[in-house]
Amino acid sequence: MNALGAKTLTTPADLADAGLVSAADLPAVTALSARYATAIPPNLVRLIATAGDAVARQFVPDKREFDSAPEERADPIGDHSHSPVKGLVHRYADRVLLMPTLACAVYCRFCFRRESVGAGALMQAELDAALDYIRATPAIWEVILTGGDPLVLSARRMGAIMDVLRDIAHVKIVRVHTRVPVALPERIDAALIDALKRSGKTVYVGIHCNHAAELTEDVVAACARLSDAGIPLLAQTVLLKGVNDTVADLENLFRALVAARVKPYYLHQLDYAPGTSHFRVPIAEGQALVTGLRGRVSGLAQPTYILDIPGGAGKVPVGAAYMSPEGDGGYIVRDPQGTAHAYPPRPGDDCSPV
Ligand SMILES: *Cc1c(COP(=O)(O)O)cnc(C)c1O
Ligand code: SF4
Q: Express each pLDDT in 216-272 by its tens digit.
A: 999 999 999 999 999 999 999 999 999 999 999 999 999 999 999 999 999 999 999
CA–CA distances in Å: residue 135 to residues 36, 190, 279:
34, 28, 39
The catalytic site residues sit at 91-92, 95, 104, 108, 111, 113, 271, 308, 315
Whole-number Å distance, alpha carbon 249 to ligand 1 midpoint, is 26
Give how far the C-alpha of residue 311 lies from the chain's centroid of Cα atoms, to the nearest Å: 19
Is 111's pLDDT higher than 60? yes
C-alpha span between 88 and 134 (Å, rounded): 9
Higher-pLDDT residue of 296 and 352 is: 296
Task: Report whether pLDDT(5) > 70.
Answer: no
**Does 334 lie in the same domain as 248?**
no
Using CA positions, which residue lies closest to atom 6 of ligand 2?
108
- Predicted pLDDT at 2: 42
**How remote is the CA of residue 282 from the centroid of ligand 1, in Å?**
22
Which has the minimum average pLDDT: 209-218, 268-277, 331-340?
Answer: 331-340
Which residue from 100, 201, 209, 215 is spatially nearest to 146, judged by alpha carbons? Answer: 100
Residue 22 binned pLDDT confidence (cut-offs 50, 70, 90): very high
Ligand 2 centroid to residue 240 C-alpha, Å: 14
The answer to whether residue 32 is domain-embedded is no
CA 188 remoteness from chain centre: 18
Do 128 and 271 lie in one domain? The reply is yes
Average pLDDT, the chain: 94
Ligand 2 contact via 57 beta carbon (within 6 Å): no
Q: Is the pLDDT of residue 1 over 90?
A: no
Rounded Cα gap, residues 266 and 146, in angstroms: 15
Q: Do 74 and 116 share a domain, yes or no?
A: yes
177 lines ligand 2 (CB under 6 A): no
Using CA positions, which residue lies closest to atom 1 of ligand 2?
A: 179
Instruction: Give the pLDDT confidence score for residue 329 in this predicted structure.
Output: 87
pLDDT digits (tens, 9 = 90+) for 150-208: 999 999 999 999 999 999 999 999 999 999 999 999 999 999 999 999 999 999 999 99
What angle do the packed helices 155-166 and 124-135 form, to 10 degrees? Answer: 30
Q: Are residues 153 and 240 in the same domain?
A: yes
Distance of CA 139 to the CA centre of its chain: 25
Using CA atoms, how far apart are residues 108 and 250, in angstroms rounded to an integer?
19
Does a structural domain hold residue 204?
A: yes
Ligand 1 pocket residue status of 91, Cβ below 6 Å: yes
Judge whether 90 lies within some domain: yes
Among residues 271, 238, 291, the alpha carbon closest in space to that of 76 is found at 271
Measured between alpha carbons, how far is 59 from 116 in angstroms, rounded to an integer? 17
DSSP secondary structure letters along 214-248: G--HHHHHHHHHHHHTT--EEEEEE--TTTS-SHH
Residue 345 pLDDT > 90: no
> 227-266 b/e with 16+ CB inside 10 Å = b?
eeeebebbbbbbbbbebbbebebbbbbbbbbbebebbbbb
What values do phi and psi take at 206, rounded to 5? -105, 125
> Edge to edge, what strands does the sheet with 340-343 contain?
323-325, 331-334, 340-343
Same domain? For 261 and 339 the reply is no
Ligand 2 pocket check for 108: Cβ under 6 Å: yes
Residue 324 gets the label, from left (phi > 0), alpha (psi -120 to 50) or beta, of beta
Task: Report the distance separating Cα 256 and Cα 110, nearest Å.
Answer: 23
pLDDT of residue 36 exceeding 70: yes
**Does residue 338 sit in the same domain as residue 290?**
no
Are the C-beta atoms of 299 and 289 separated by less than 8 Å? no
| Domain co-membership, 233 together with 264 | yes
Query: Is residue 11 a part of any domain in this protein?
Result: no
Does 72 lie in the same domain as 212? yes
Q: What is the pLDDT of residue 6?
A: 79
Number of compact structural domains in the chain: 2
Ligand 2 atom with the smallest distance to the CA of 146 is 3
- What is the C-alpha separation between 257 and 189, in angstroms, rounded? 20
> Is 256 among the domain residues?
yes
Q: Where are the beta strands (DSSP E) in the chain?
A: 88-92, 95-98, 142-145, 173-178, 202-208, 233-238, 262-268, 304-309, 314-317, 323-325, 331-334, 340-343
Mean pLDDT of 123-151: 97
Same domain, 337 and 248: no
User: What end-to-end distance do the CA atoms of the chain give, in Å?
Assistant: 67
| Domain around 183 | 41-47+68-317
As a whole number of angstroms, the distance between CA 261 and CA 83 comes to: 34
4 pLDDT exceeds 70?
no
Both 158 and 77 in a single domain? Answer: yes
Q: Is 111 in the pocket of ligand 2 (CB under 6 A)?
A: yes
Residues 78, 186, single domain; the answer is yes
CA of 92 to the centre of ligand 2 (A): 22
pLDDT of residue 295: 86
Specify whether 176 is located in the same domain as 303: yes
